[in-house]
Every structure is written in C-alpha cells, then in structure tokens.
Chains A and B, each alone.
Chain A
Amino acid sequence: MIHKYIQNGQYIVLDICSGGVHVVDKLTYDLLDYAKPPFEAVCPDDIIAKMDGYDKEEVAECYAELKELYDAKMLFTDDDYAQYAAMAMKAPIKAMCLHVSHDCNLRCKYCFAQTGDFGGDRMLMKPETGKKAMDFLIEHSANRENLEVDFFGGEPLMAWDTVVETVKYARSIEKQHGKNFRFTITTNGMLLDDEKIEYINKEMSNCVLSLDGRKEVNDNIRPTPNGKGSYDIIVPKYQKLVSGRGTKDYYVRGTFTKYNLDFANDVLHINELGFEQLSVEPVVTDPAMPYAITEDDIPTIFAEYDRLEKIMEEQKLAGKRKFNFFHFMIDLNQGPCAVKRLRGCGCGNEYVAVTPDGDIYPCHQFVGIEEWKMGDIFTGKVDQKIKDYFAGIHIYSKEECGNCWARFYCSGGCNANSFIYEGDVKKPHKLSCELQKKRIECAIALAAAEKAE
C-alpha cells in the first residue's frame, strides 16, 4: 500500500508497510496512478499511452526507478505485521497518570474532567495514597526499568505535598527495585511559585504547561472561577520556569476550539513569548458544545495546518527554526518500533490512571466511567478481563484502521475518544482521524523537506 500527497509543492509518496518516504517529481507522482505491482521488465505500452503529455522515454525511465524500489522492498511492500499483532499480549504496567487532584482552580469551558472533578466529588489525593500508588507500579512493572508517573488533575499543584512526598518516596525505593522513575507534571500554572518552579525543574523530566495562545483566546476559554482571565497570571511564571529548565523537556500546550480556528496565530504567539516546545491540539468534545470542532471546520483547520507547516518549513530551510510543534515532530529513521506502532497508547494494559482515592482506570479519560474501573491500588488487584481486553487492542483489531494508510503513524488513535464519541473502543473517532492524518502528512513533509534539500 502507498499513500501519495502534495504538501507545499512537494510530491510525497509513502510506502506504508516499510515506512519508506519518497520525495518524487510530478511525473512519478502521476505515473503512480497507473504503475502498480507486478512490475514488468519494461514499462508497458498501455501505461505510456495513459501518460499523456509526458515524454515516452522519461516515463519508461521513471517506471524503471519504481520497479527498482519495488524490488528493493521500498515500495508496495506487503503488510505482514499481523503476526506481530497476534503477539500483542498483556504487558507490565509501566506508566501511570496519577490524579493527585480532582479539583481545579480554573474553569476551562472544554475540560473533559468537568472542571476538575471528573463528575465526582472534588478531592485531593493523600500523600499515603501517592506512595501506595508507587508501590503498586513497582509491583506490576515486572522487568520494565523506566517507570513513568505523570502528576495530573484537576490541577496537581493543588496537591503539592502529595507530589513532593510521592516523588521523595519513589526516589527512596527505585534503586533497590532496579527502577528508574520519570516524573512529569501537567499544570495550569496558577499556583507556580519560585519553590515549585525550582522543584519541577529538578525532579520532572517533562512538564506540560497549559496555555491556549493569545490572551483573548486563552482568557475566553480558560477563566478563573470568578470569571477573570488566567493569561497574565501564568505567562510570567511559565517564562521563569522555562528559563531555568536547561535541557529538560517541556511543552507549552494549548487546545484550540471553534473559537480560534486560526490557531497557527496562537502557536506563533506562544513562540513569541519565548517558548520553543509547543503543542496546540484540537478540542475533542460533545459536538453540541458551541466551541466544538465539527466536520464543517475541517477545510479551515487543514488550511491552517498547511499554513503552519509552510512557516515551519521556511524557518527550517533557512536554518532559523524557532520552535517545535508536537504534532509535526517525526523522526523518519529512529521513531518507535513496529510493535509499538501496532499497539498504540497502551492504555489499560501498560498505562493506567489512578484517582485521588486510589481507583484504577485504563487512562485519564476513562476516569469516572464506572464500567471501566479496573480495581484499586490498595488491594492491588487489577481486573484482568479489562486488562486482557486492552492488551488485545491494536490496529488490526480495529476494522477501519487495518486498511488506513496512517495506521503505523497514529496507531489506532485515542481509545477513550473512540469509546466516548463513537461508543466503541474499536471504532475510531472519525473527526480525530481526519485531523490526525492531516497532521501526519504535514509532519512527514516537514521532515522530508530538509532531507530532500
């Protein structure tokens, strides 16, 4: 299977099953409408006849190049990954979204956590629960060495003592168990102060700082409980944090909605504030919400992704790259292995979420949906039926993914979105698919542009 597209003047051909990325000329691009396996020793006359307007010798020469790639298994390669999908099995739990707070000090209109409480009571995790969660993770991680814990909420800084005590405890026991904890935190920044900034920059391998972009965009949708804006409070704190971050990872992360379909302007604005690692993502929500992105918005969003890709490509080719955009990042040679690409996010299998009272769910977006509760960290028991179910989730268990060109890039998408908006974990959320495919095209084009120079 191949996928071909034109991005910012580049003709790009992807060989889906080898991962091959080919930048071609227009002749090749057009010839691929007709040239398909099995390839003949020389270009058949009927194909040459169909290539109206092109020089016959050039067409034959180009056909020979396609055949050469095909013979080298870099074009039209077979999909023989099903054997690896069959090996998809229960994996140790190695990543945890630790909901230290089901409370929040902002009232973001699009919050999937329903302004922080996930539909339940507002509560903070006790330090002892955080420590117990670390024991649980170690116990269930088998031979996995790298253990990931993301402090999440609600707003995790509201449970700061729990964050600090959990990290301290995990650090005190990681060596004896042969583990390496990687802590990350996702915060709205409201409670950041010098002490917390210093701590985060010391202990957290990555931090995600929420900001939606321009002041009016951010403050409209991310207000405080008394209706005021958050931009002026958080931006200086983020700037201070990032200035002391060194080489550690961070992302300033925004969400765009129907209110700011010109979201590239928000990306550029965040960059102008001095931030270089950026992520601005589409809101995923009930289509009935006024800020929801709907199918009608797709052409506008595609044009905006094109605009952003073009800006980044120009910066890159001029040697003046100013920022990274999370969804356009792709390493064409050293990305994840095919096994990971088959399995996807690993939720409910190697990744779980833990609530303030210790309940376990497949991921942060399943939290509060009672039928998906997998157990609790105090008994340490995990519902094996649910875990087995998620262990068997891969791109070939999703009918619509099996033949999609993007399957090895998106890996089946977000299982929670599929369940919440399509009613079935195995049924991909269509709107998310469309946007994801566009972002993948942009990401590959951006990487290819530099290499094709």
Chain B
Amino acid sequence: MKHIKTVNKANLKETAAKGGCGRCQTSCQSACKTSCTVANQKCEALNK
C-alpha cells in the first residue's frame, strides 16, 4: 500500500479462541504494583 503501512498482524481476535491458558505472568507481579499494565506482558501459551 502506498498510504498505509500495517506494522503488526492484527490478530487479536485469533487469540480469543485459544486464549486464557493462565501460563503467563500476572501483571502486578512484574514491576508495577500500582498501575495495572497488561498489554506489555508476554504470552507464554504452549499452543500458540
């Protein structure tokens, strides 16, 4: 495309069906403890 560059897979919907395995880190156990931040956590699913 000339005007638009898409920089990721735009696949959030695909992750809904297979998601929720619970292997990943709870957000407040990383570094925040006061300001919940979820989108910067890593997915650790085995069936990605």
Contact = CB atoms under 8 A, between A and B. Distances in A.
Q: Does A associate with B in a complex?
A: yes
Interface residues of chain B: helix, strand, loop or mixed (majority): loop
Interface in B3-48: 3-13, 15-16, 18-45
A253 B5 CA distance: 35
Given A17-B13, A253-B31, A335-B42, A327 B7 contact: no
Contact of A184 (B10, B13, B29): B29
Given A61-B2, A326-B37, A329-B40, A363 B12 contact: no
Given A206-B30, A335-B42, A91 B4 contact: no
Given A22-B7, A23-B5, A77-B13, A335 B30 contact: no
Contacts of A451: 7-8
A375 interface: no
A13 B16 CA distance: 22
A233 to B, nearest CB: 22
A407 to B, nearest CB: 10
A150 B33 CA distance: 11
Chain B interface residue bracket vs A:
35 or more
B17 to A, nearest CB: 8
Interface string A394-409: 0000000000000011
30 contacts: A18-B10, A19-B9, A19-B11, A20-B10, A61-B2, A65-B4, A81-B16, A94-B26, A148-B26, A253-B31, A281-B32, A326-B37, A332-B9, A334-B42, A335-B42, A335-B43, A336-B15, A336-B41, A336-B42, A337-B20, A337-B21, A338-B15, A351-B28, A351-B29, A411-B27, A411-B38, A414-B34, A414-B36, A451-B7, A451-B8
Given A208-B33, A334-B43, A413-B35, 12 more contacts: A18-B13, A22-B7, A28-B4, A74-B6, A91-B22, A144-B22, A150-B29, A281-B35, A326-B40, A336-B43, A337-B19, A411-B38
